[in-house]
Amino acid sequence: MINRAELYLPGGSNYWENKNITENLKKISRYSLTLIEGRSGYGKTKQVAKFFHKNYPKSSYWYSLKSKTDIFEFWEKLVSFLEVDYADKFERAKKIITQFKVGEIQGEEFIESLIKVLADFEKDIFLVVDNFELISLSNDFCFYFELFIDMLENNFHLIIINQGYINYPKFDYWELMAKAMKIEDKEFILDSYQIEELLLLEYKLCLSKSEIRQIKEISEGWILVVDLIARRVKEGVGLEEILNDKASFKVIFTYLKYEVLDKLSDDPTLKEFLLKTSILRNLNTDICNKLLEIDNSQEIIQELINRGVFIYKEEKNIFRYHNIFQSFLREEANDFYDMKSLQQRVREVYEELNFYEDLAYHVLDTEEDKEIINLINKNADRWLANKEFNLLEKCLDHLSEDKIASNPRLLIYQGNLYLKNDEIDNALRIYLRAEDMLVNEEDELMIKVLFKIAKIYSFLMSRNLLVYIDKLNKFKESFSEAERRELLYLRIIENIIDSNLKEAEKRLADDQVEEEFYKELKAYICLIKGNSKECQELIDSLELEDKSFCDYRLSYTITLPVVIRLIRGEKYEALEYIWNKKSNRGGLIEEFFKYYLSNVYEFLGLKGYEDLKNSYLNFKAVLDSKKLNLFWHEFELRAKSLLADSFYGKGGQSIENCLKDLKLLEERNYKFLSSMISRVIATSCYFKGDRESCSYYLEESKDKLMSLNNRMYLASTLLLLALVNYKDENKESCYKYLRQGLEIIKEEGCDQLLIKSSMLGFRDPNRIIPMLIEAKKNNIESEYINKILKKIDLASFNRAPGYSLKIKAFGRFELYRDKYKVDSSEWKRKNARELFKLFLVNYDKMIPRDRICDILWPDKDQKSAVHSFNVSLNSLNKILEPDRKSRTDSYFIVKEGLNYGLSNQFSYFYDVKTFEELIERGNKARDEIIRINYYKKAVDLYQGDFLAGDLYSDFITRERERLENLFLEVADEVLAYYYDNQEYKASIKLANRILKIDKFFERAYLYKMKSYDQINRREFAIKTYQVCKKVLEEDLNISPNSNIENYYHSIII
């Protein structure tokens, strides 16, 4: 029999606990049999031993098989645990087994007798049999074993640990009858979270997310490898060194030789299969059969899997080795075979069976430049057509820069890869270099590179396109049909660049034009013509999903949805579109998105003039550095810069630049662009008070737009003309232009021009409200105007000041009338200011007058309090509307009976309202990027405590605390996002902001510590812990939570 010591649980009680395995093991008391399957080194023994040490230390027994075991030995070892605590039962069991060995009892009688011995325990008994794969699974054994499991009593539980897989036909039945359960090896494969937890708790190591991902990739969740890496890192070896040094895994190779390869010595066929197929990328059964000249690869692979070999199924007939196991096998194969001959044979097999992708990876393994270049030349076009970009990228990565730079064909392929990754400027740079090398060539390669360059210039709407169309015309006689169609496309875009829309539309009608190209170019033409509805329909009908930017013909197609949304005043929708498309990969396209993003932020009040102006300057610097001749974008940029200067009342020389642009555009007959520049110049003149010049340029713009039949832009221009004449008190002209504008707006269904802050309409629609109210009084489109005013809850108003308020309550209180900041000296009555702040706290509701009096004048009698209220309200209205005539209704503070409050939100921008709106939109967002971006903007907007200077008003204090809690909730999420995405400096900065507000916010301390550690500032991480510990102990008499303590200990050991 066996030594008593062998029956005790092995060590492992102090090892890291895999909670997933523990949850499964908690169920074992329900089953007679638990089968635990897993490959070698998966941590089966340690995890099971830890569980029993913790949960059943006195009722569990363990036996590890050491060698091949026959049926009689198994039963002897099975009952040997009885000798420890149940001597009488042990003697009875020994006698039964002896009778079975000599043939005195057979079959069911033997099992029934044994079961009687194992019955009637006073408690549940758990017997673990490890290394069950050493059992010889003969038919006789299976027969007796199945009888044994069928008859087992409920309080006896057999747990089998097996390396590999056991195919018991009856196991499914046992599972169905709740007699047995299985824990499969996939449960022991660690995910990234478990690896991170193991490293922290077992080794006191805290690695970054990217380092955890690297370990997960190389280990594939194999705990043996994770343990090895952790020990080496603990010894001070760098992770990169470990992962890149093959010698790091020598000990694993030795382990695999003993635990896997040597155990297959009974079947040389299996060992030969492993070694020879180790040089294959995947174990495709057809490839394996061909290579080894056999027809049973599928059966061999299944046998190896059953034996616990590190082979995983990918899909039908395709398997793969664990990457470390494969490296081990290849090293072993070098000792047995001529690898050069084997490599050649594999290459032949791949070619014979047309497995080109596998052939590519195989050739890359050889690292022979000549072979790789031949492979690229033969397959690159097909890879690109099939979007197998990774193959081409891997091949080019194996070649030196000099090798690529000396070969124009390779340069073109490299440019194609840049293009597929949306690195437009890099692709163009590479193509231009290839063109220089082919300058004296007149072959198909030169034609190819010229088309590549021309297509990029057309995408960017650069006038350089015209030069390359001329170059291509020299080769047009040798063009293929596809190349002739491509030239047609380039000419259509040339027409658009030249503002020759008539010719562009004529060519678009050509039968050769494909539907997607037609829709894209037609959409842009519709925008120029002011038909935003059709433009939107065309954009919506394009197959935009899963496309890279270079799949579009015009860069404007990418940003058209932004423009349309801004024209409609749908600012949040524009924001979400950009966030969805923005890639953070850098490059020219990314700069376009940054540029549009700054515009949307400014529209929403999230950024001011300085931020907007800086974004324009940065974008201009990018365009200047690229020297791409992007004149459309350059004109637009100068125009927007002038608009910003004008709206914010800033100086600058923008108007002189725009006047030069206007002259140039008119010389070239670019009507659409010149009409836009005329409008911008007119707007600048309006804000400067030069309404005569304003009218002149608006009339110019109107005439150009009429010739283009651009009705939406025309409507907007007519509204501007109406407003200028309204200001000049020229009612006849005002109403003429207003009627014309409103007629178009009604027909086109673009009410947003009147009531939303938009790119095409008014930055502040409040500017035209007085004009609309006056027109309504004079029966000018009164029914329609009343309908419009109803949409913004202004139908009952009989006057308006013509501007909105901007209110900043985060940090120090600031109030702006239009662009002008209200000076503190204007607040002649303190109570007027307090009243306004009370309205701000309740910005979305009306407050009864008596409630206002109770809050602001609690010590006064009702009559005195009402008097104080009336005086304060009158003073407040004078501050908000200095030019309001007496006895006229207030525009910003409204009254409903004896209830008072801020008027509808159309009339003011309030940072608190926007803050809450951003959070609400973030909460509703399904996409994480959108959600986090909304939270980030909310965090940015929170520029300090609510009304920071007001310390003694209860209603302000309550609101301050509510908003502070809102901030902390979203800041906590943003903090985690920054850390997870390795934005460590941003994480530290935000943690500091959080702790300034709430010094007990433990997660902020934790992320601050972790972020400092990740940027190799361990001393600051330790200092952060010390501050945290001191604050919590001194102020709250508590210690930092376990996460902080564990992390601290991980960085000081």
Q: What is the pLDDT averaged over residues 997-1022?
A: 93
Most confident of 11-15, 384-388, 516-520, 931-935: 931-935
**Which range (593-597, 598-602, 902-906, 982-986) has the least confidence?**
902-906
Residue of higher predicted confidence among 81 and 808: 808
Q: What per-residue confidence (pLDDT) applies to 1?
A: 24
Report pLDDT digits (tens) over 677-714.
999 999 889 888 899 999 999 999 999 999 888 888 99
Instruction: List the end-to-end C-alpha distance of the chain, in Å, as a whole number.
Output: 47
Q: What percent of the chain has pLDDT over 70?
A: 97
Q: What is the pLDDT averaged over residues 307-336?
A: 90
Q: What per-residue confidence (pLDDT) applies to 6?
A: 47
Whole-angstrom Cα distance, residue 436 to residue 446? 10
Q: What per-residue confidence (pLDDT) applies to 58?
A: 86
Sheet bearing 283-284, strands edge to edge: 283-284, 318-321, 311-315
pLDDT at 11 over 60: no
CA distances to 288, 773, 906 from 790, rounded to whole Å, are 76, 12, 12
Whole-angstrom Cα distance, residue 31 to residue 857? 75
Q: Which residue is associated with the tokens 């891997």?
A: 394
Q: What per-residue confidence (pLDDT) applies to 896?
A: 92
Taking Cα atoms as reference points, which of 276, 260, 251, 283 lies closest to residue 336? 276
Q: Which residue is associated with the tokens 């010149």?
A: 674
Residues 6+ apart with CB under 8 A from 61: 7, 8, 81, 84, 125, 126, 127, 128
Q: What is the pLDDT averaged over residues 169-191?
A: 89
Q: Count CB neighbours of 531 within 10 A.
A: 20
**Which range (395-404, 799-808, 917-926, 929-938) has the least confidence?**
395-404
Q: What per-residue confidence (pLDDT) applies to 72?
A: 84
pLDDT at 1053 over 70: no
Q: Count CB neighbours of 87 within 10 A.
A: 10
DSSP state, 906? Answer: G
Q: What per-residue confidence (pLDDT) applies to 974?
A: 97
The class of domain 4-188 in CATH terms is: alpha beta
pLDDT tier, 545 (very low <50, low <70, confident <90, very high otherwise) = low
Whole-angstrom Cα distance, residue 812 to residue 606? 17
Report helix, strand or coil for 208.
coil
For strands 311-315 and 318-321, give the pairing: antiparallel
Sheet bearing 125-130, strands edge to edge: 60-64, 125-130, 156-163, 33-38, 180-183
Q: Where are the domains of the chain?
A: 4-188, 194-353, 682-790, 801-969, 982-1053
Q: What share of the chain is helix, strand, coil (3-state, %, to 5)?
A: 65, 5, 25
Q: What per-residue confidence (pLDDT) applies to 34?
A: 93
Q: What per-residue confidence (pLDDT) applies to 898?
A: 94
H helix or E strand, kind and range, residue 340:
helix 339-352
Residue of higher predicted confidence among 533 and 217: 217
Whole-angstrom Cα distance, residue 707 to residue 301? 75
Cβ contact 92:100 at 8 Å:
no
Q: What per-residue confidence (pLDDT) applies to 4?
A: 35
Report pLDDT digits (tens) over 642-675.
888 888 877 666 688 888 888 988 888 888 889 9
pLDDT at 154 over 90: no
pLDDT tier, 13 (very low <50, low <70, confident <90, very high otherwise) = low
pLDDT tier, 9 (very low <50, low <70, confident <90, very high otherwise) = very low
State the fold for domain 982-1053.
1.25.40
pLDDT at 892 over 60: yes
pLDDT at 473 over 90: yes
Q: What per-residue confidence (pLDDT) applies to 720?
A: 95
pLDDT at 873 over 90: yes
pLDDT tier, 563 (very low <50, low <70, confident <90, very high otherwise) = confident
| Mean confidence (pLDDT) of the chain | 89
Q: What is the pLDDT averaged over residues 1-26?
A: 66
pLDDT at 2 over 50: no
Q: What per-residue confidence (pLDDT) applies to 400?
A: 87
The amino acid present at 1023, given as its one-letter code, is K
CATH of 801-969, one of 3.65.10.10, 1.10.3720.10, 1.10.10.10, 3.40.50.720: 1.10.10.10
DSSP line for 266-324 = T-HHHHHHHHHHTTSSSEEHHHHHHHHT-S-HHHHHHHHHHTT-SEEEEETTEEEE-HH
